């Protein structure tokens, strides 16, 4: 069912992305086109920026990424003196700040900390969540430059970096993240600015978690607000939230293949899509069978098999599926610990 939803949604979403990135009018244009133009003016352009050469495009990526790196490091290293720090966390050491900044800027989101105890809310929503949007948009912009290089045999330009990241963020990432955040919150996922609570020695974390995790899933970032990622009930409380979030992991990677087909050729895209889907299905089958039959089973006093490292709401099947989907697109979010 989840794979069917991904396939069914990726086709219209991919066509929508292709239209957006080509500058065509879409159903959100009436609302977002004025915002897009205002962003260009803030960047110093009176109209839509002109296209760039390949060298200019790469230079823009490097400059933007370095600026992002320094901003993330700066906030993390000074967070205890900044607002939105109700849990009174300390500044992040420079080496961990550098590690985290490099990880988030490159869309890796490898985390050597637990967000609920090491990061202020400002660090979480102002720089890490923002960087989840930015790094995903940078990756898609680079993909678009490559696609245009294939499709424009005589052109000396590959698009404009600032236009690409603006349109993809504004028309694609932001609307989808808002929808996913609302769906997660409707199931009980955490989204507030209240401080953490300790009840009978157990930490009950709070914070603007759902908004960060939504873009983390959609943008193939994978980093979570909480150390346990989607294995924490505060991120993924119900079977329905697990459904929404599982679809979100692969939706945009699959849709970008459809976008490729719209821009270059459907035949090539169909081959790529079919191979990716086939490998994914095989991986899901193999992972699920391994969890069911090859792992170490632990039985309780009643003789039933315990779900070691897995939430009973999801069980073995949905735990294996999530981790396979996440690994397939290099998302690296988790909703369980597999054998």
b/e 242-277 (16+ beta carbons within 10 angstroms → b): bbbbbbbbbbbbbbbbbbbbbbeeeeebeeebeebb
- Distance in angstroms (rounded) separating the CA atoms of residues 220 and 252: 8
Alpha helices in the chain (DSSP H): 2-21, 29-42, 54-76, 94-105, 115-118, 121-122, 129-151, 161-167, 174-186, 209-218, 239-263, 266-289, 315-328
Domain range list for the chain: 2-266
Cα–Cα dist 291/133, whole Å = 34
Torsions phi, psi for 155 (to 5 deg): -75, 150
Point out which residues pair with 204 in neighbouring strands: 197
| Per-residue pLDDT tens digits of the chain, which is 339 residues long | 889 999 999 999 999 999 999 999 999 999 999 999 999 999 988 888 999 999 999 999 999 999 999 999 999 999 999 999 999 999 999 999 999 999 999 998 888 898 888 999 999 999 999 999 999 999 999 999 999 988 887 788 999 999 999 999 999 999 999 999 999 999 999 999 999 888 887 778 899 999 999 999 999 988 889 888 888 888 899 989 999 999 999 999 999 999 999 998 888 899 999 999 999 999 999 998 888 876 555 555 444 455 667 777 788 888 899 999 999 999 989 888 877
- How high is the pLDDT of residue 306? 55
d(CA 58, CA 61): 5
pTM confidence score: 0.92
Q: Concatenated DSSP letters for 294-321?
A: ISPP-B-TT-PBP-TTB-TTTHHHHHHH
> Other CB atoms closer than 10 Å to residue 200's CB: what's the count?
5
CA atoms within 13 A on the CB side of 192: 12
* CA–CA dist 89, 91 (Å, integer): 7
Please state, in angstroms and rounded to a whole number, the distance separating the CA atoms of residues 108 and 104: 6
Contacts for 271 with CB less than 8 Å, ≥ 6 apart = none
The dihedral built from the CA positions of residue 114, 120, 121 and 125, taken in this order, carries a sign that is negative
Whole-Å CA distances, 255 to 12, 13, 208, 260: 8, 6, 28, 9
Distance (Å, whole) CA 176 – CA 169? 10
Polymer length of the chain: 339
Report the alpha-carbon distance of residue 228 to residue 114 in Å, rounded: 8
Separation between Cα atoms, residue 277 and residue 53, nearest integer Å: 34
CB 111 within 8 A of CB 334: no
């Amino acid at each position: 069912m989840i794979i069917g939803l991904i396939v069914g949604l990726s086709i219209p979403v991919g066509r929508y992305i292709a239209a957006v990135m080509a500058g065509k009018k879409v159903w959100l244009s009436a609302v977002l086109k004025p915002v897009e133009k205002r962003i260009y003016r803030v960047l110093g352009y009176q109209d839509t920026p002109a296209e760039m050469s390949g060298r200019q495009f790469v230079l823009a990526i490097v400059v933007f990424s370095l600026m992002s790196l320094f901003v993330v490091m700066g906030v993390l290293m000074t967070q205890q003196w900044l607002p939105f720090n109700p849990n009174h966390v300390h500044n992040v050491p420079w080496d961990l700040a550098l590690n985290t900044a490099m990880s988030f800027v490159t869309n890796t989101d490898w985390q050597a900390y637990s967000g609920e105890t090491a990061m202020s809310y400002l660090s979480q929503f102002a720089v890490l969540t923002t960087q989840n949007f930015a790094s995903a948009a940078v990756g898609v912009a680079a993909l678009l430059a490559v696609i245009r290089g294939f499709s424009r045999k005589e052109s000396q330009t590959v698009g404009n970096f600032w236009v690409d990241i603006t349109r993809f963020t504004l028309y694609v990432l932001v609307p989808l993240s808002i929808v996913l955040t609302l769906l997660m919150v409707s199931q009980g996922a955490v989204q507030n600015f209240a401080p953490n609570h300790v009840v009978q020695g157990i930490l009950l974390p709070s914070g603007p978690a759902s908004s960060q995790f939504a873009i983390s899933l959609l943008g193939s970032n994978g980093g979570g607000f909480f150390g346990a990622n989607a294995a924490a009930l505060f991120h993924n409380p119900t079977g329905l939230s697990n459904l929404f979030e599982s679809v979100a992991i692969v939706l945009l990677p699959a849709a970008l293949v459809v976008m490729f087909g719209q821009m270059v050729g459907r035949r090539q895209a169909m081959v790529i899509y079919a191979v990716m889907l086939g490998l994914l299905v095989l991986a899901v089958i193999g992972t699920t069978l391994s969890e069911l039959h090859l792992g170490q089973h632990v039985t309780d006093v009643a003789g039933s098999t315990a779900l070691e490292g897995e939430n009973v709401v999801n069980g073995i099947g949905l735990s294996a599926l999530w981790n396979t989907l996440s690994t397939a697109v290099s998302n690296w979010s988790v909703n369980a610990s597999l054998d």
